[in-house]
Amino acid sequence: MLENENHRIAVIGAGPAGISAAVTAAELGIDVDWYDKADQIGGKLNDYYQLFPDRTSANKVLQEFDDQTGTARIHKHFGKAINHIRNDHGRLMLMSDQEAVGSADSVIVATGFDFFDARNKEEFGYGIYNQVITSPELEQKLRTNPDSLKIDGAAPANIAFVHCVGSRDQQIGINYCSRLCCVTGIKQAIEMREMFPSCRVVNFYIDIRAFGSGYEELYREAQEKHQVQFIRGRVSEASENQQHRIVLKAEDTLMGRPVKITVDWLVLLIGMVPSCTQVQVADHPCTDQETGFLKAANAFAGNRLAGQTGVFMAGACGGPMSIPEAAASGRAAAAEALQYLINR
Ligand SMILES: Cc1cc2nc3c(=O)[nH]c(=O)nc-3n(C[C@H](O)[C@H](O)[C@H](O)COP(=O)(O)OP(=O)(O)OC[C@H]3O[C@@H](n4cnc5c(N)ncnc54)[C@H](O)[C@@H]3O)c2cc1C
Ligand code: SF4
Protein backbone atom coordinates (compact mmCIF):
# COMPACT_ATOMS: atom_id res chain seq x y z
CA MET A 1 0.00 0.00 0.00
CA LEU A 2 0.99 3.67 0.15
CA GLU A 3 4.07 4.50 2.22
CA ASN A 4 2.99 8.11 2.69
CA GLU A 5 -0.46 8.10 4.27
CA ASN A 6 -0.87 11.81 3.49
CA HIS A 7 -1.47 11.30 -0.23
CA ARG A 8 -4.73 12.83 -1.41
CA ILE A 9 -6.75 12.40 -4.57
CA ALA A 10 -9.19 14.97 -5.93
CA VAL A 11 -12.22 13.81 -7.90
CA ILE A 12 -13.96 16.46 -10.02
CA GLY A 13 -17.57 15.54 -10.77
CA ALA A 14 -20.14 13.59 -8.76
CA GLY A 15 -22.05 11.82 -11.53
CA PRO A 16 -21.96 8.01 -11.82
CA ALA A 17 -18.26 8.07 -12.89
CA GLY A 18 -17.14 10.45 -10.13
CA ILE A 19 -19.13 8.57 -7.47
CA SER A 20 -17.50 5.26 -8.42
CA ALA A 21 -14.04 6.87 -8.57
CA ALA A 22 -14.43 8.56 -5.15
CA VAL A 23 -15.89 5.47 -3.45
CA THR A 24 -13.25 3.13 -4.92
CA ALA A 25 -10.36 5.44 -3.98
CA ALA A 26 -11.71 5.70 -0.41
CA GLU A 27 -12.10 1.92 -0.20
CA LEU A 28 -8.47 1.59 -1.32
CA GLY A 29 -7.49 3.71 1.68
CA ILE A 30 -6.95 7.13 0.08
CA ASP A 31 -8.43 10.42 1.28
CA VAL A 32 -10.55 12.00 -1.43
CA ASP A 33 -11.42 15.67 -1.93
CA TRP A 34 -14.59 15.59 -4.00
CA TYR A 35 -15.77 18.58 -6.05
CA ASP A 36 -18.94 19.23 -8.04
CA LYS A 37 -20.38 22.43 -9.43
CA ALA A 38 -23.82 21.22 -8.32
CA ASP A 39 -24.69 20.88 -4.66
CA GLN A 40 -25.84 17.27 -4.90
CA ILE A 41 -24.48 14.00 -6.21
CA GLY A 42 -25.82 12.09 -9.23
CA GLY A 43 -25.04 14.20 -12.31
CA LYS A 44 -27.50 13.39 -15.12
CA LEU A 45 -29.06 10.62 -13.05
CA ASN A 46 -31.06 13.40 -11.37
CA ASP A 47 -32.75 14.08 -14.73
CA TYR A 48 -33.93 10.55 -15.57
CA TYR A 49 -37.07 8.53 -14.86
CA GLN A 50 -36.36 4.87 -15.62
CA LEU A 51 -33.05 3.53 -16.93
CA PHE A 52 -32.55 1.29 -19.92
CA PRO A 53 -32.33 -1.54 -20.50
CA ASP A 54 -34.31 -2.99 -17.58
CA ARG A 55 -36.26 0.15 -16.58
CA THR A 56 -34.85 0.38 -13.04
CA SER A 57 -35.92 3.61 -11.37
CA ALA A 58 -33.20 6.28 -11.67
CA ASN A 59 -34.00 7.35 -8.08
CA LYS A 60 -33.28 3.85 -6.80
CA VAL A 61 -29.90 3.72 -8.57
CA LEU A 62 -29.07 7.20 -7.26
CA GLN A 63 -29.96 6.13 -3.71
CA GLU A 64 -27.75 3.03 -4.03
CA PHE A 65 -24.85 5.20 -5.20
CA ASP A 66 -25.48 7.71 -2.41
CA ASP A 67 -25.47 4.97 0.25
CA GLN A 68 -21.83 4.21 -0.63
CA THR A 69 -20.52 7.75 -0.20
CA GLY A 70 -20.85 8.23 3.56
CA THR A 71 -17.27 7.30 4.44
CA ALA A 72 -14.95 9.50 6.53
CA ARG A 73 -12.31 9.38 3.79
CA ILE A 74 -14.51 11.34 1.34
CA HIS A 75 -14.55 15.11 1.85
CA LYS A 76 -17.25 16.88 -0.15
CA HIS A 77 -16.74 20.38 -1.57
CA PHE A 78 -19.91 20.85 -3.59
CA GLY A 79 -21.37 23.93 -5.24
CA LYS A 80 -18.14 25.03 -6.89
CA ALA A 81 -16.95 24.47 -10.48
CA ILE A 82 -13.30 23.62 -10.98
CA ASN A 83 -12.20 25.15 -14.25
CA HIS A 84 -8.45 24.68 -14.29
CA ILE A 85 -5.84 22.29 -12.94
CA ARG A 86 -2.37 23.81 -12.59
CA ASN A 87 0.72 21.69 -12.07
CA ASP A 88 2.88 23.42 -9.44
CA HIS A 89 6.12 21.38 -9.27
CA GLY A 90 4.21 18.09 -9.13
CA ARG A 91 1.46 19.36 -6.82
CA LEU A 92 -1.84 19.64 -8.70
CA MET A 93 -3.63 22.89 -7.88
CA LEU A 94 -7.42 23.03 -8.33
CA MET A 95 -8.53 26.42 -9.57
CA SER A 96 -12.00 27.93 -9.47
CA ASP A 97 -12.36 31.36 -11.10
CA GLN A 98 -8.57 31.95 -10.92
CA GLU A 99 -8.51 31.10 -7.21
CA ALA A 100 -6.82 27.94 -5.82
CA VAL A 101 -9.47 26.05 -3.85
CA GLY A 102 -7.43 22.93 -3.11
CA SER A 103 -4.54 20.74 -4.18
CA ALA A 104 -3.90 17.04 -4.68
CA ASP A 105 -1.27 14.45 -5.59
CA SER A 106 -3.50 13.00 -8.28
CA VAL A 107 -6.74 14.17 -9.90
CA ILE A 108 -9.58 12.25 -11.53
CA VAL A 109 -11.63 14.37 -13.95
CA ALA A 110 -15.21 13.07 -14.19
CA THR A 111 -17.07 16.12 -15.46
CA GLY A 112 -19.42 14.28 -17.83
CA PHE A 113 -21.13 15.70 -20.91
CA ASP A 114 -23.76 18.22 -22.02
CA PHE A 115 -26.94 17.54 -23.97
CA PHE A 116 -26.81 18.78 -27.57
CA ASP A 117 -28.67 22.10 -27.91
CA ALA A 118 -31.55 21.20 -30.26
CA ARG A 119 -32.00 24.86 -31.28
CA ASN A 120 -28.99 24.29 -33.52
CA LYS A 121 -31.19 22.06 -35.70
CA GLU A 122 -33.76 24.69 -36.62
CA GLU A 123 -35.61 22.45 -39.07
CA PHE A 124 -37.15 20.49 -36.15
CA GLY A 125 -38.73 23.58 -34.60
CA TYR A 126 -37.33 23.13 -31.10
CA GLY A 127 -37.71 26.35 -29.10
CA ILE A 128 -40.39 27.48 -31.57
CA TYR A 129 -43.18 24.92 -31.09
CA ASN A 130 -44.08 23.83 -27.55
CA GLN A 131 -44.86 20.28 -28.65
CA VAL A 132 -41.31 19.70 -29.83
CA ILE A 133 -39.31 18.43 -26.85
CA THR A 134 -36.02 16.63 -26.26
CA SER A 135 -35.46 13.16 -24.79
CA PRO A 136 -34.20 14.52 -21.42
CA GLU A 137 -37.26 16.78 -21.28
CA LEU A 138 -39.48 13.75 -21.81
CA GLU A 139 -37.61 12.03 -18.93
CA GLN A 140 -38.35 15.07 -16.75
CA LYS A 141 -42.04 15.01 -17.67
CA LEU A 142 -42.28 11.29 -16.91
CA ARG A 143 -40.47 11.82 -13.64
CA THR A 144 -42.36 14.82 -12.35
CA ASN A 145 -45.68 15.26 -14.18
CA PRO A 146 -46.75 12.59 -16.71
CA ASP A 147 -50.17 14.26 -17.02
CA SER A 148 -48.44 17.16 -18.78
CA LEU A 149 -48.18 14.83 -21.80
CA LYS A 150 -51.96 14.77 -22.21
CA ILE A 151 -53.56 17.02 -24.81
CA ASP A 152 -56.55 18.91 -23.39
CA GLY A 153 -56.84 16.23 -20.71
CA ALA A 154 -56.88 13.33 -23.19
CA ALA A 155 -54.23 10.82 -24.26
CA PRO A 156 -52.12 11.99 -27.22
CA ALA A 157 -53.03 10.23 -30.48
CA ASN A 158 -49.63 10.30 -32.20
CA ILE A 159 -46.05 10.70 -31.00
CA ALA A 160 -42.91 10.64 -33.15
CA PHE A 161 -39.27 10.27 -32.14
CA VAL A 162 -36.40 11.48 -34.32
CA HIS A 163 -33.05 9.71 -33.89
CA CYS A 164 -29.56 11.19 -34.40
CA VAL A 165 -30.40 14.83 -33.55
CA GLY A 166 -26.99 16.45 -33.09
CA SER A 167 -25.03 13.28 -33.86
CA ARG A 168 -23.71 11.77 -37.11
CA ASP A 169 -24.36 15.08 -38.80
CA GLN A 170 -21.70 16.60 -41.03
CA GLN A 171 -23.73 19.80 -41.44
CA ILE A 172 -23.06 20.74 -37.80
CA GLY A 173 -19.60 19.14 -37.64
CA ILE A 174 -20.56 16.34 -35.24
CA ASN A 175 -19.64 13.09 -36.93
CA TYR A 176 -19.64 10.65 -34.02
CA CYS A 177 -22.55 8.46 -32.89
CA SER A 178 -23.80 9.26 -29.35
CA ARG A 179 -24.35 5.51 -28.81
CA LEU A 180 -27.17 5.75 -26.29
CA CYS A 181 -29.91 7.76 -28.01
CA CYS A 182 -31.22 4.76 -29.99
CA VAL A 183 -31.87 2.73 -26.85
CA THR A 184 -33.23 5.84 -25.06
CA GLY A 185 -35.72 6.30 -27.95
CA ILE A 186 -36.68 2.61 -27.82
CA LYS A 187 -37.23 2.76 -24.05
CA GLN A 188 -39.21 6.00 -24.20
CA ALA A 189 -41.36 4.70 -27.09
CA ILE A 190 -42.30 1.68 -24.94
CA GLU A 191 -43.12 3.96 -22.00
CA MET A 192 -45.41 6.05 -24.22
CA ARG A 193 -47.22 2.97 -25.53
CA GLU A 194 -47.69 1.66 -21.98
CA MET A 195 -48.95 4.98 -20.68
CA PHE A 196 -51.20 5.71 -23.67
CA PRO A 197 -52.16 2.34 -25.26
CA SER A 198 -54.27 4.01 -27.97
CA CYS A 199 -51.39 6.25 -29.10
CA ARG A 200 -49.48 5.52 -32.32
CA VAL A 201 -45.73 5.79 -31.72
CA VAL A 202 -43.30 6.09 -34.65
CA ASN A 203 -39.49 6.25 -34.48
CA PHE A 204 -37.61 7.73 -37.45
CA TYR A 205 -34.09 6.31 -37.53
CA ILE A 206 -31.06 6.21 -39.83
CA ASP A 207 -30.03 2.83 -38.48
CA ILE A 208 -30.61 1.33 -35.04
CA ARG A 209 -27.48 0.97 -32.94
CA ALA A 210 -28.47 -1.25 -30.02
CA PHE A 211 -24.99 -2.29 -28.98
CA GLY A 212 -25.28 -2.95 -25.23
CA SER A 213 -26.37 -5.92 -23.20
CA GLY A 214 -30.19 -6.15 -23.29
CA TYR A 215 -30.57 -3.34 -25.86
CA GLU A 216 -31.39 -5.54 -28.88
CA GLU A 217 -33.94 -7.43 -26.78
CA LEU A 218 -35.58 -4.11 -25.84
CA TYR A 219 -35.72 -3.16 -29.55
CA ARG A 220 -37.46 -6.44 -30.35
CA GLU A 221 -39.86 -5.98 -27.42
CA ALA A 222 -40.76 -2.48 -28.65
CA GLN A 223 -41.77 -3.87 -32.03
CA GLU A 224 -43.38 -7.18 -31.10
CA LYS A 225 -45.00 -6.50 -27.73
CA HIS A 226 -45.72 -2.77 -27.97
CA GLN A 227 -46.21 -2.28 -31.73
CA VAL A 228 -43.87 0.70 -31.89
CA GLN A 229 -43.37 1.54 -35.57
CA PHE A 230 -39.81 2.06 -36.80
CA ILE A 231 -39.41 3.94 -40.09
CA ARG A 232 -35.98 4.12 -41.65
CA GLY A 233 -35.72 7.65 -42.91
CA ARG A 234 -34.57 11.18 -42.33
CA VAL A 235 -37.03 13.80 -41.15
CA SER A 236 -36.48 16.89 -43.27
CA GLU A 237 -38.80 19.38 -41.58
CA ALA A 238 -41.30 19.95 -38.77
CA SER A 239 -43.96 22.68 -38.89
CA GLU A 240 -47.14 23.51 -36.98
CA ASN A 241 -50.64 23.33 -38.42
CA GLN A 242 -53.66 25.45 -37.45
CA GLN A 243 -54.68 22.97 -34.75
CA HIS A 244 -51.23 23.44 -33.17
CA ARG A 245 -50.15 19.94 -34.07
CA ILE A 246 -46.76 19.15 -35.55
CA VAL A 247 -46.55 18.10 -39.20
CA LEU A 248 -43.49 16.04 -40.09
CA LYS A 249 -42.08 15.52 -43.54
CA ALA A 250 -39.67 12.63 -44.03
CA GLU A 251 -38.50 10.13 -46.55
CA ASP A 252 -38.98 6.41 -45.94
CA THR A 253 -35.64 5.26 -47.34
CA LEU A 254 -36.55 1.55 -47.26
CA MET A 255 -39.75 2.00 -49.24
CA GLY A 256 -38.34 4.91 -51.29
CA ARG A 257 -41.35 7.19 -50.73
CA PRO A 258 -42.10 10.45 -48.93
CA VAL A 259 -43.94 10.31 -45.59
CA LYS A 260 -46.03 13.04 -43.98
CA ILE A 261 -47.49 12.57 -40.51
CA THR A 262 -49.14 14.80 -37.93
CA VAL A 263 -48.25 14.29 -34.28
CA ASP A 264 -49.12 15.66 -30.84
CA TRP A 265 -45.54 15.40 -29.59
CA LEU A 266 -42.26 15.33 -31.45
CA VAL A 267 -39.39 14.02 -29.31
CA LEU A 268 -35.84 14.77 -30.45
CA LEU A 269 -33.30 12.14 -29.38
CA ILE A 270 -30.45 14.57 -28.80
CA GLY A 271 -26.83 13.54 -28.67
CA MET A 272 -24.10 13.94 -26.05
CA VAL A 273 -21.55 16.73 -26.52
CA PRO A 274 -18.46 17.75 -24.51
CA SER A 275 -19.24 19.62 -21.30
CA CYS A 276 -19.09 23.40 -21.65
CA THR A 277 -17.50 23.60 -18.19
CA GLN A 278 -14.83 21.11 -19.15
CA VAL A 279 -11.77 21.52 -16.95
CA GLN A 280 -8.72 23.04 -18.60
CA VAL A 281 -5.81 20.86 -17.59
CA ALA A 282 -2.45 22.64 -17.53
CA ASP A 283 -1.58 24.13 -20.89
CA HIS A 284 -1.37 20.89 -22.81
CA PRO A 285 -4.00 19.85 -25.34
CA CYS A 286 -5.84 16.89 -23.85
CA THR A 287 -9.00 16.89 -25.92
CA ASP A 288 -9.69 14.92 -29.03
CA GLN A 289 -9.56 17.34 -31.96
CA GLU A 290 -12.37 15.65 -33.83
CA THR A 291 -14.92 15.27 -31.01
CA GLY A 292 -13.85 17.77 -28.32
CA PHE A 293 -14.11 15.12 -25.56
CA LEU A 294 -11.14 14.49 -23.25
CA LYS A 295 -8.61 12.08 -24.61
CA ALA A 296 -6.57 9.33 -22.92
CA ALA A 297 -2.80 9.24 -23.47
CA ASN A 298 -3.22 5.66 -24.67
CA ALA A 299 -6.79 4.39 -24.82
CA PHE A 300 -5.56 0.78 -24.91
CA ALA A 301 -3.56 1.23 -21.72
CA GLY A 302 -5.88 3.15 -19.41
CA ASN A 303 -7.40 6.44 -18.32
CA ARG A 304 -4.38 8.73 -17.95
CA LEU A 305 -5.12 12.04 -19.62
CA ALA A 306 -3.11 12.88 -22.74
CA GLY A 307 -0.07 15.07 -21.97
CA GLN A 308 -0.55 14.94 -18.16
CA THR A 309 1.11 13.40 -15.15
CA GLY A 310 -1.11 12.22 -12.32
CA VAL A 311 -4.36 13.29 -14.01
CA PHE A 312 -6.88 10.63 -15.05
CA MET A 313 -10.29 10.81 -16.67
CA ALA A 314 -13.44 8.83 -15.98
CA GLY A 315 -16.88 8.57 -17.56
CA ALA A 316 -18.60 10.54 -20.30
CA CYS A 317 -16.10 13.45 -20.28
CA GLY A 318 -14.18 11.03 -22.53
CA GLY A 319 -17.12 10.38 -24.90
CA PRO A 320 -20.65 8.93 -24.91
CA MET A 321 -21.09 5.98 -22.56
CA SER A 322 -23.77 4.33 -20.41
CA ILE A 323 -24.02 4.51 -16.62
CA PRO A 324 -22.52 1.03 -16.03
CA GLU A 325 -19.65 1.95 -18.38
CA ALA A 326 -19.12 5.31 -16.64
CA ALA A 327 -19.11 3.62 -13.23
CA ALA A 328 -16.62 0.99 -14.44
CA SER A 329 -14.31 3.68 -15.82
CA GLY A 330 -14.52 5.54 -12.48
CA ARG A 331 -13.38 2.41 -10.63
CA ALA A 332 -10.57 1.86 -13.16
CA ALA A 333 -9.39 5.49 -12.87
CA ALA A 334 -9.24 5.19 -9.05
CA ALA A 335 -7.10 2.04 -9.32
CA GLU A 336 -4.80 3.77 -11.82
CA ALA A 337 -4.46 6.84 -9.62
CA LEU A 338 -3.45 4.61 -6.68
CA GLN A 339 -0.94 2.78 -8.87
CA TYR A 340 0.49 6.16 -9.92
CA LEU A 341 0.85 7.28 -6.28
CA ILE A 342 2.58 4.04 -5.30
CA ASN A 343 5.03 4.14 -8.21
CA ARG A 344 5.97 7.80 -8.34
C1 LIG B 1 -31.30 11.31 -22.83
C2 LIG B 1 -30.31 10.38 -22.17
C3 LIG B 1 -30.80 9.33 -21.38
C4 LIG B 1 -29.90 8.44 -20.79
N5 LIG B 1 -30.40 7.38 -20.08
C6 LIG B 1 -29.54 6.45 -19.61
C7 LIG B 1 -30.04 5.21 -19.03
O8 LIG B 1 -31.27 5.00 -18.92
N9 LIG B 1 -29.12 4.26 -18.65
C10 LIG B 1 -27.76 4.43 -18.80
O11 LIG B 1 -26.99 3.53 -18.49
N12 LIG B 1 -27.27 5.60 -19.34
C13 LIG B 1 -28.12 6.59 -19.74
N14 LIG B 1 -27.63 7.72 -20.34
C15 LIG B 1 -26.16 7.98 -20.26
C16 LIG B 1 -25.81 8.63 -18.90
O17 LIG B 1 -26.36 9.94 -18.84
C18 LIG B 1 -24.27 8.70 -18.74
O19 LIG B 1 -23.74 7.40 -18.85
C20 LIG B 1 -23.85 9.23 -17.37
O21 LIG B 1 -24.53 10.42 -17.05
C22 LIG B 1 -22.34 9.48 -17.39
O23 LIG B 1 -21.94 9.77 -16.07
P24 LIG B 1 -20.75 10.81 -15.79
O25 LIG B 1 -20.52 10.76 -14.32
O26 LIG B 1 -19.61 10.54 -16.68
O27 LIG B 1 -21.31 12.25 -16.21
P28 LIG B 1 -22.52 13.18 -15.68
O29 LIG B 1 -23.70 12.36 -15.31
O30 LIG B 1 -22.66 14.21 -16.74
O31 LIG B 1 -21.94 13.86 -14.35
C32 LIG B 1 -20.93 14.84 -14.41
C33 LIG B 1 -20.86 15.61 -13.09
O34 LIG B 1 -19.75 16.54 -13.16
C35 LIG B 1 -20.16 17.81 -12.66
N36 LIG B 1 -19.32 18.83 -13.31
C37 LIG B 1 -19.27 19.14 -14.64
N38 LIG B 1 -18.34 20.09 -14.87
C39 LIG B 1 -17.80 20.39 -13.65
C40 LIG B 1 -16.76 21.30 -13.25
N41 LIG B 1 -16.11 22.06 -14.13
N42 LIG B 1 -16.47 21.36 -11.92
C43 LIG B 1 -17.12 20.58 -11.00
N44 LIG B 1 -18.11 19.71 -11.35
C45 LIG B 1 -18.43 19.60 -12.66
C46 LIG B 1 -21.64 17.90 -13.03
O47 LIG B 1 -22.31 18.82 -12.19
C48 LIG B 1 -22.10 16.44 -12.82
O49 LIG B 1 -22.52 16.21 -11.48
C50 LIG B 1 -28.49 8.62 -20.96
C51 LIG B 1 -28.01 9.66 -21.76
C52 LIG B 1 -28.90 10.52 -22.37
C53 LIG B 1 -28.37 11.60 -23.29
S1 SF4 C 1 -27.19 5.89 -30.93
FE2 SF4 C 1 -28.68 5.82 -32.59
S3 SF4 C 1 -29.75 7.80 -32.46
FE4 SF4 C 1 -27.84 8.03 -31.29
S5 SF4 C 1 -26.40 8.88 -32.77
FE6 SF4 C 1 -26.10 6.65 -32.77
S7 SF4 C 1 -27.43 5.89 -34.44
FE8 SF4 C 1 -28.07 8.01 -33.95
Q: Do 80 and 222 belong to one domain?
A: no
Q: What is the dihedral sign for C-alpha 14, 15, 18, 19?
A: positive
User: Which ligand has the minimum distance to the alpha carbon of residue 321?
Assistant: 1
Q: Which of 271, 299, 320 is the last residue of a domain?
A: 271
234: enclosing H helix or E strand: strand 229-240
Contacts of 245 (CB under 8 A, 6+ apart): 131, 262, 263, 264
Q: Which of 215, 247, 271 is the last residue of a domain?
A: 271
Structural domain count, the chain: 2
Q: Do 305 and 234 belong to one domain?
A: no
Question: What per-residue confidence (pLDDT) applies to 306?
Answer: 86
Q: Supply the DSSP symbol for 279.
A: P
Return mean pLDDT, the chain.
Answer: 95
Question: What per-residue confidence (pLDDT) applies to 2?
Answer: 59
Taking only the tens place, the pLDDT of each residue in 28-70 is 999 999 999 999 999 999 999 999 999 999 999 999 999 999 9
Q: Which of 212, 237, 271 is the last residue of a domain?
A: 271
Q: Is residue 166 domain-resident?
A: yes
Short-list 20, 36, 27, 268, CA closest to 134:
268
Question: What per-residue confidence (pLDDT) applies to 279?
Answer: 81
The neighbouring-strand residues paired with 36 are: 78
Own/partner long-range contacts of 300-308 (Cβ < 8 Å, ≥24 apart): 302/332, 302/336, 303/329, 303/332, 303/333, 303/336, 304/336, 304/340, 305/109, 305/281, 307/281, 307/282, 308/87, 308/281, 308/282, 308/284
CA-proximal residue: ligand 1, atom 14 (nearest): 322
Mutation test of ligand 2: which of 52, 121, 164, 215 has the most ligand atoms closer than 8 Å to its C-beta?
Answer: 164
Q: Is residue 2 domain-resident?
A: no
The span from the CA of 247 to the CA of 75, in Å, is 52
Alpha-carbon Rg for the chain, nearest whole angstrom, is 22
Is 19's pLDDT higher than 90? yes
Q: Which residues line ligand 1 (CB under 6 A)?
A: 12-18, 35-38, 43-44, 48, 51-52, 81-83, 110-113, 115, 135-136, 180, 184, 272, 275, 277, 279, 315-316, 321-324, 326
Q: Is residue 1 domain-resident?
A: no
Question: What per-residue confidence (pLDDT) applies to 308?
Answer: 85
Q: Do 122 and 254 belong to one domain?
A: yes
pTM (two decimals): 0.96
Specify whether the CB–CB gap between 326 and 315 falls below 8 A: yes
Mutation test of ligand 2: which of 52, 116, 121, 163 has the most ligand atoms closer than 8 Å to its C-beta?
Answer: 163
Q: Do 102 and 217 belong to one domain?
A: no
Q: Do 241 and 128 belong to one domain?
A: yes
Question: What per-residue confidence (pLDDT) applies to 283?
Answer: 65
Q: Supply the DSSP symbol for 40.
A: S
CA-proximal residue: ligand 2, atom 4 (nearest): 181
User: Which ligand has the minimum distance to the alpha carbon of residue 14?
Assistant: 1
Is 322's pLDDT higher than 70? yes
Taking only the tens place, the pLDDT of each residue in 254-289 is 999 999 999 999 999 999 999 987 787 766 678 999
CATH number of the domain within which 184 lies: 3.50.50.60
Scored b (16 or more CB within 10 A) or e, 264-300 reads: bbbbbbbbbbbbeebbebbeeebbbeebbbbbbbeee
Taking only the tens place, the pLDDT of each residue in 133-190 is 999 999 999 999 999 999 999 999 999 999 999 999 999 999 999 999 999 999 999 9
Which range marks the domain in which residue 185 is found?
117-271
| Helix 215-224 / helix 181-195 crossing angle, nearest 10 deg | 40
CA-proximal residue: ligand 1, atom 4 (nearest): 184
Q: Do 231 and 123 belong to one domain?
A: yes
CA atoms in the 13 A half-sphere facing the CB of 99: 4
Does residue 209 have its Cβ closer than 6 Å to ligand 2? yes
Does residue 168 have its Cβ closer than 6 Å to ligand 2? yes
Q: Is residue 3 domain-resident?
A: no
Is 4's pLDDT higher than 80? no
The 3-state DSSP class for residue 83 equals coil
Helix boundaries (H) for the chain: 16-27, 58-67, 135-144, 181-195, 215-224, 323-343
Average pLDDT for residues 116-137, to the nearest whole number? 97
The 3-state DSSP class for residue 192 equals helix
The span from the CA of 295 to the CA of 288, in Å, is 5
